[in-house]
Structure 1
Amino acid sequence: MSSNLPTVLVIDDEPRSLETLRRTLEEEFEVLTAENAAEAEGILEREWVQAILCDQRMPGETGVEFLSRVRDRWPEVIRIIISGYTDAGDLVEAINRAGIYQYISKPWHPDKLLLKLRNAVDLFHLQRQNALLSTELKLRPETVAEDLEGKRRLLQQRFDWDQGIVRGPESCMNGVCDLVRRVAPYDVSVLVSGESGTGKELCARALHYNSLRRDGPFVAENCGALPDELLESELFGHKRGAFTGASEERVGLFELADGGTVFLDEIGEISPAFQVKLLRVLQEGEIRPLGSNQRRMVDVRVVAATNRDLEAEVRAGRFREDLYYRIATFTINLPPLRDRPKDIAVLAHSLLDDLQRQLGKRVDGISRETLACLEAYHWPGNVRELQNELKRMLVLAQDAILGAELLSPRILQGADEEGTDDLAIVSQTEGSLKERIESLEARILKETLIRHRWNKTRAAEELGLSRVGLRSKLERYDLEKVDGMEELKSTGRAQ
């Protein structure tokens, strides 16, 4: 047919119903109609149909009987039954005998009917794509194997302990990377500790992709995000009907990761009751899905992570000591970003490269003034906060260089090594009132000048100062040397 719309065949022995269905569907579909099974079969032999909408009660032959024949001759066509009778026996027969995709009851709602037809057509195209891919896999097994091996090599390189963990030459992360390199090849459990956003999952992936299990799966689960029952289902799987909402069988992450690595993030958040279940799995190397009496052996390496002090949790009785020693054969502590000032410039450029690919927006680099502000900030959210800040700057950027005026106010105002805010400066116990006010005034001056790209006229107008008055304060607080960064920002790229 000449139309580019997907084709749907509608079968109903009542002309009024047929016409109503046609009018409902014709804006989105090429609609073919038939009043009986014989007429419909003739259309299927001539036309390329993606989905069939068939009435169940028809003279001579039911919809299920007709669609059963369609299933044998045209199995790729998506089959839908529509009926004013919701007999349970009809439903079971339709699903089992004719492979029905949907059972729609009369009276139907137009929007819901359209949605189900759209989904049916999407399913038809997905099935055809899957068939084509399966054929290609059979015809080109060597090429597919090469592609998979290439992707494995890229993953290994990305998460390599030496190249994948971004840091400066004199970084305190060098010791961490050396420990990852030494521990990764051995099949022992590892506990990665550190504040939120320090890169614990990145460390876990580095352990996996530099281990003997590198060709196996790596699966991750945030243990603090789910209640016990759902967490048990996620990790160990469940049988159909094991709990309310368990409409189908589910394979757990431990079974999916067989031969590979399971990363359990925020393990310090799990309840004492679930700690017992997890300990049993780690000790015995076997799982039992919820609702099942059968146990399944699994071979996994466990890497756990936490932002809590688990030793303190053990002493307080909130975390089982035997589980702690089971998951912490080795412990790797990741330092917070505030302790890695020499890494910030390297990290910023690496993160910016990734963000430019993600957002499809290019810039030439980061100004030295911006890097100075980033290095002075205390980063309570660690690397994740740095990534979000760079993403914000890239979205807002209109120039080739990411200038400091794009930085969030909290970074411009809080750019000091201790991370003290304005209120803390005023309320500190040391120094006279005059000294405290002057410290706050210097920060306000610096933040305002940066936002205005060191345009003294605009900064003075905002602060209600004359240009001479602003110059006097800059000299008083020794901020003239910062003003020199204006030249660096305007003349070149980040070093």
Structure 2
Amino acid sequence: MQRTRLPIVLIVDDEPMSLQALRRVLEEDFSVLTADNVADAQKVLSEIPVQVVVSDQKMPDMSGTDFLANVRKQWPDVIRIILSAYTDPNDLIHGINEAGIYNFIPKPWQPEHLTLTLKNAVRLHTLQQENEQLNIELKLTAPSWDSKLQQKRAELKHRHHFDNIICADDSPMTALCQQVARIAPYDIPVLVTGDSGTGKELITRAIHYSSHRADKPFVTENCGAMPVQLLESELFGHARGAFTGATTERIGLLEQADGGTVFLDEIGDTSLEFQVKLLRFLQEGEMRPLGSNRSRKVNVRIISATNRNLEKEVLAGRFREDLYYRLAAVPIHVPPLRERSMDIAVIAESILKHHVLAYSKPVEGFSDEALECMSAYHWPGNVRELENEVRRMLVMTDSTVLGADLLSAKVLQETCGELPALDQEKTDEGSLKDRVERLEARILKQTLIRQKWNKSKAALELGLSRVGLRAKLERYGLEQDKVKNE
């Protein structure tokens, strides 16, 4: 069986412990190479087709931005990322101008944020390679290019249509998609709220590709944890000499997206200073790059998203009320996965179908017991956590069906299924005896699931005799036809 080739990432840091920690977090999704000095890193880049390089900013032989500036000159296709505990806006902007860095990851980094950033960087590298290939084709076959472009646009519209958002027929997402589909064709600001990982960006892309702007750019910007000056430069652009390190003119994302849609993610994390400048743009429909004395008209639709309650943020004085009403002409709330358990099975099946192809593993589906446990779990990380769980089950299995025994301990601990003999709705009520019995029943079923309902193995793990285990199973109503190996 051929193993899927992982994207190659080079980590450059002079601290061995930092390299080890980064490798442990990333090696599941990437082929990780490391270097503790610039010379070794350059040797790796000259010999291996690296897609993304992540460099620490503070290194003894050369700063991260200077190193990445050299990488930009010698290997311009490599996506460059800075990792640093220092957040001086001038240093960051200098790095963007000189080194052309794709993103800045602050220390201490979060594993999920780090992995997601690198996955997006790999996607960007892939798109750049595809774009270069398309440019070659354009020169060779210009007439066919227009047809291919139209075809790609049609594919994007189909892929991001509301009908392709996975949900059950009785899901609250069905009504939500119908509501959003009605407002999509109109140029009205939309604010999408909901927990992280619920699919806010899916809704946003569906709005764009269902509007008259579908053939124009769709640009996203994550506004969270970014210095004001850097965020302003990203969106509005800057003139040459606008600040220290601004050696060239930069066109902002708003101007790049002219005619299309701009998605401002994590808008609730922005500062009041930036909110004033964004409000001015929304009111006047024109922007002025940093350091420029010339305003530019820009026609974009703004869609924003946040996992915060902006109404509470307004009351607390952390978000401008006038900006809130500018952004939230149509507020849309995406419910978390725990409030739409009917979606869990269909989303899990869709995720599995996608990764079965990617991993080339002949898995047909989930067992009923696995789907029961997954549907009962509360999924605090929402769809993103569910996808990680499905991927983990897929790579761990040797069978064609993913059973409940493959689920992680945190899922099994909370989702042992319905226990017929006990009321689990009030686990913190009742006498000590009642509470102990609930705990005992849950441990029994969790162990049976993990041991694939093999009584002998379950009894051995729990330190019980087979007779004692059978008595407890009868007491708690856990005897099932699927119990194996009597």
Deviation string 1:243-265 (CA, Å, 9 cap, x unpaired) is 34434332211111111111111
Contact 2:373 2:417 in 1 (8 A): no
Give the CA deviation at 1:340: 0.8
> Equivalents in 2 of 1:362, 1:284: separation in Å?
56
**Aligned pairs (5 A) from 1:325-364:** 325-364=325-364
Contact 2:454 2:483 in 1 (8 A): no
Report the equivalent of 1:90. none
Report the equivalent of 1:484. 482
Structure-2 change in CA distance of 1:349 and 1:133 (3 Å): closer
Matched, 1:153 2:151: no
- Alignment-mate amino acid for residue 364 of structure 1: E
Matched, 1:169 2:169: yes
Structure-2 change in CA distance of 1:121 and 1:458 (3 Å): closer
> Equivalents in 2 of 1:118, 1:214: separation in Å?
33
Structure-2 change in CA distance of 1:121 and 1:203 (3 Å): closer
Give the CA deviation at 1:141: 2.4
Report the equivalent of 1:89. none
Give the CA deviation at 1:379: 1.0
Give the CA deviation at 1:200: 0.5
**Aligned pairs (5 A) from 1:433-448:** 433-448=432-447
Structure-2 change in CA distance of 1:121 and 1:368 (3 Å): closer
**Aligned pairs (5 A) from 1:243-392:** 243-392=243-392
Identify the range of structure 1 (438-447 vs 361-370) with the bigger mean alpha-carbon deviation: 361-370
- Alignment-mate amino acid for residue 225 of structure 1: A
Report the equivalent of 1:227. 227
Report the equivalent of 1:142. 143
Structure-2 change in CA distance of 1:263 and 1:116 (3 Å): closer
- Alignment-mate amino acid for residue 450 of structure 2: R
Deviation string 1:198-219 (CA, Å, 9 cap, x unpaired) is 1101100010010110111111
- Alignment-mate amino acid for residue 479 of structure 2: E
SS in 2 for 1:186: coil
Matched, 1:469 2:485: no
Name the larger-Rg structure.
1
**Aligned pairs (5 A) from 1:16-55:** none
> Equivalents in 1 of 2:303, 2:479: separation in Å?
51
> Equivalents in 2 of 1:178, 1:426: separation in Å?
37
> Equivalents in 2 of 1:215, 1:486: separation in Å?
58
SS in 2 for 1:224: coil
> Equivalents in 2 of 1:131, 1:458: separation in Å?
58
Structure-2 change in CA distance of 1:122 and 1:323 (3 Å): closer
Structure-2 change in CA distance of 1:326 and 1:116 (3 Å): closer
SS in 2 for 1:219: strand
Report the equivalent of 2:459. 460
**TM-score, normalised on structure 1?**
0.68
> Equivalents in 2 of 1:344, 1:449: separation in Å?
23
Structure 1 spans left out of the alignment, 5+ residues: 1-24, 30-111, 124-128, 419-423, 488-495
> Equivalents in 2 of 1:426, 1:284: separation in Å?
56
Report the equivalent of 1:451. 450
- Alignment-mate amino acid for residue 327 of structure 1: L
> Equivalents in 2 of 1:240, 1:362: separation in Å?
56
SS in 1 for 2:331: strand
**TM-score, normalised on structure 2?**
0.70
Report the equivalent of 1:103. none
- Alignment-mate amino acid for residue 321 of structure 1: E
SS in 1 for 2:477: coil
Report the number of matched residues: 367
> Equivalents in 2 of 1:446, 1:179: separation in Å?
42
> Equivalents in 1 of 2:471, 2:177: separation in Å?
49
Structure-2 change in CA distance of 1:247 and 1:455 (3 Å): farther
Structure-2 change in CA distance of 1:427 and 1:165 (3 Å): closer
Structure-2 change in CA distance of 1:180 and 1:443 (3 Å): same
> Equivalents in 2 of 1:386, 1:211: separation in Å?
30
Give the CA deviation at 1:437: 0.8
Structure-2 change in CA distance of 1:371 and 1:476 (3 Å): same
Structure-2 change in CA distance of 1:385 and 1:135 (3 Å): closer
> Equivalents in 1 of 2:484, 2:277: separation in Å?
60
Contact 2:237 2:289 in 1 (8 A): yes
Contact 2:260 2:299 in 1 (8 A): yes
Give the CA deviation at 1:486: 7.3
Contact 2:287 2:297 in 1 (8 A): yes
Structure-2 change in CA distance of 1:305 and 1:486 (3 Å): farther
Give the CA deviation at 1:238: 1.9
Structure-2 change in CA distance of 1:464 and 1:198 (3 Å): same
Structure-2 change in CA distance of 1:466 and 1:246 (3 Å): farther
> Equivalents in 1 of 2:182, 2:425: separation in Å?
45
SS in 2 for 1:226: coil
Structure-2 change in CA distance of 1:354 and 1:244 (3 Å): farther
Deviation string 1:311-349 (CA, Å, 9 cap, x unpaired) is 122222221111011011101111110111111111111
SS in 2 for 1:389: helix
Report the equivalent of 1:400. 400
Give the CA deviation at 1:382: 1.0
Structure-2 change in CA distance of 1:189 and 1:437 (3 Å): same
Contact 1:302 1:327 in 2 (8 A): yes
> Equivalents in 1 of 2:131, 2:381: separation in Å?
43
> Equivalents in 1 of 2:183, 2:453: separation in Å?
50
Report the equivalent of 1:59. none
Deviation string 1:354-396 (CA, Å, 9 cap, x unpaired) is 2233444341111111100000101111111111111111121
Identity %: 58
- Alignment-mate amino acid for residue 463 of structure 2: G
